[in-house]
């Protein structure tokens, strides 16, 4: 299992943590260099989510047309090109274009790996494999933290370093992920009942995406602006978030014991508490927030993957594409709206509102037969 899972973790790490979420980590430095307003920063953050959404729309077609390995290679290539572009950006427009390219990879990677898990892992390893691959985001955050500390005033070099690491991960995956000849799939294996059963999954995904978007884009800026945290302190916060997120890899085992419905609600409640906790003017509140958010985000997204693959058993990549498409829609809207809300009110009020938004997801039904 680990022969496939380890390079998968690495690719998720570079496509999510480096290519999508590291913008929030370096936002204070990037903003000063390129003179970004909070509104512009929200728009740039949103472009990565929009690209992610568009990539998810095309992922099923690409997997069917080119196969899972090729789509994983497309993911890695977009991360390399996009991260290089960010490192070379001199203005808002070029930066937005680069984050868009970088954001494509994550939208292609998750569905492709769900297909790899389905075709290459034993039945008993599929849920564990999917949830462990999903922890790649956390490991990427942990790696990006020290780089941010070492190159605080040289964020361009940091992004070029990310691009080089992404290239190495692309080569690793090319050597380890098995090639599977693309096959013309019978469209009848996807029934109307599948989509009907997936409606609550999609609603939940939108809510998770919207609620989490403010944290990924603005949490570190919040700490530096609101609490005057030093660069090192705020990066340590980011690393804590990544380290605890790795615990989310256990979600597959927890879910098998507690059930999908209870696990989902516990994870969402934890995320809501994490988002509002950052507004507590205390070092303990801040780091507790990062601790809880790291666990809850990886936990709940891992649950969404498993939920999707259980509904679309024969074509798991379709289910994951739909779920993460809804997640991306929520994040695209949420990131842009958060920037505007912060401009009109304050960081604290915006984070409180987004925390409440997460609680709406507690009322979404989770059918017991999928748990």
Query: What's the predicted TM-score (pTM) here?
Result: 0.80
Domain of 63 in residue numbering reads as 2-177+193-370
pLDDT (0 to 100) of residue 224: 85
Cβ(147)–Cβ(311) below 8 Å: no
Tokens of 224: 């530096």
> Does 268 reside within a domain?
yes
pLDDT (0 to 100) of residue 120: 79
pLDDT (0 to 100) of residue 121: 78
| Per-residue model confidence as pLDDT tens for the chain (371 residues) | 778 889 999 999 999 889 987 887 788 788 888 888 878 887 887 788 789 888 988 988 898 889 889 999 999 999 999 999 999 998 999 999 999 999 999 889 988 998 888 887 777 777 778 888 888 888 888 888 888 788 877 899 999 999 999 999 999 999 988 877 665 554 555 556 677 788 999 999 999 999 999 998 888 889 988 888 887 787 788 788 888 877 766 666 677 677 888 989 999 999 999 999 999 988 889 999 999 999 999 889 888 988 998 888 878 888 888 898 898 889 878 988 998 999 898 999 999 999 999 999 999 988 655 44
> Does 184 reside within a domain?
no
280: left (phi over 0), alpha (psi -120 to 50) or beta: beta
Burial of 186 (0-12, 13-18, 19+ CB in 10 A): exposed
> Does 182 reside within a domain?
no
* Residue in 158, 9, 188, 5 with CA at minimum distance from that of residue 86: 158
> CATH number, domain at 149?
1.20.1250.20
pLDDT (0 to 100) of residue 371: 43
Cβ(251)–Cβ(131) below 8 Å: yes
Dist CA 354 CA 212 (whole Å): 8
Tokens of 333: 């809207």
Dist CA 202 CA 112 (whole Å): 19
Phi, psi angles (nearest 5°) of residue 282: -150, 140
> Does 120 reside within a domain?
yes
* Residue in 151, 111, 101, 126 with CA at minimum distance from that of residue 11: 111
> Does 110 reside within a domain?
yes
Cβ(85)–Cβ(39) below 8 Å: no
- Which residue shows structure tokens 């997997």? 63
Number of domains in the chain: 1
Dist CA 49 CA 58 (whole Å): 15
Give Cβ neighbours of residue 29 (< 8 Å, ≥ 6 apart): 152, 153, 155
Tokens of 312: 């679309």
DSSP 178: P
> Does 69 reside within a domain?
yes
């Amino acid at each position: 299992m680990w022969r496939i899972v380890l390079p998968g973790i690495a690719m998720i790490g570079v496509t999510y943590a480096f290519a999508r979420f590291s913008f929030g980590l370096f936002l204070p430095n990037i903003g000063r260099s390129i003179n970004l307003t909070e509104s512009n920063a929200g728009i740039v953050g949103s472009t990565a989510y929009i690209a992610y959404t568009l990539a998810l729309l095309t992922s099923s077609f690409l997997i069917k047309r080119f196969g899972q390995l090729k789509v994983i290679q497309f993911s890695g290539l977009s991360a390399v090109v996009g991260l290089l572009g960010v490192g070379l950006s001199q203005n808002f427009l070029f930066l937005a274009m680069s984050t868009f390219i970088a954001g494509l990879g994550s939208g292609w990677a998750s569905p492709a790996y769900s297909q790899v898990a389905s075709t290459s892992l034993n039945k008993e390893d599929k849920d564990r494999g999917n949830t462990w691959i999903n922890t790649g985001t956390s490991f990427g955050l942990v790696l990006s933290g020290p780089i941010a500390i070492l190159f605080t005033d040289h964020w361009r070099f940091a992004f070029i370093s990310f691009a080089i690491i992404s290239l190495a991960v692309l080569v690793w995956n090319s050597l380890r992920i098995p090639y599977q000849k693309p096959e013309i799939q019978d469209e009848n294996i996807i029934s109307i009942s599948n989509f009907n059963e997936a409606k609550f999954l999609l609603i939940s995904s939108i809510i998770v995406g919207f609620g989490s978007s403010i944290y990924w884009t603005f949490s570190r800026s919040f700490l530096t602006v609101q609490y005057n945290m030093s660069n090192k302190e705020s990066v340590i916060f980011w690393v804590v978030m990544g380290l605890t997120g790795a615990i989310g890899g256990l979600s597959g085992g927890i879910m098998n014991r507690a059930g999908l419905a209870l696990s989902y609600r516990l994870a969402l409640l934890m995320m809501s508490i994490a988002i509002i906790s950052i507004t507590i003017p205390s070092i303990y509140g801040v780091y507790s927030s990062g601790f809880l958010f790291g666990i809850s985000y990886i936990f709940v997204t891992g649950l969404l993957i498993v939920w999707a693959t259980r509904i679309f058993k024969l074509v798991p990549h379709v289910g994951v594409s739909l779920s993460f498409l809804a997640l991306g829609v929520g994040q695209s809207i949420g990131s842009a709206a958060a920037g505007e809300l912060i401009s009109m009110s304050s960081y604290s009020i915006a984070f409180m509102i987004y925390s409440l938004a997460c609680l709406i997801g507690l009322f979404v039904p989770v059918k017991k037969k999928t748990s």
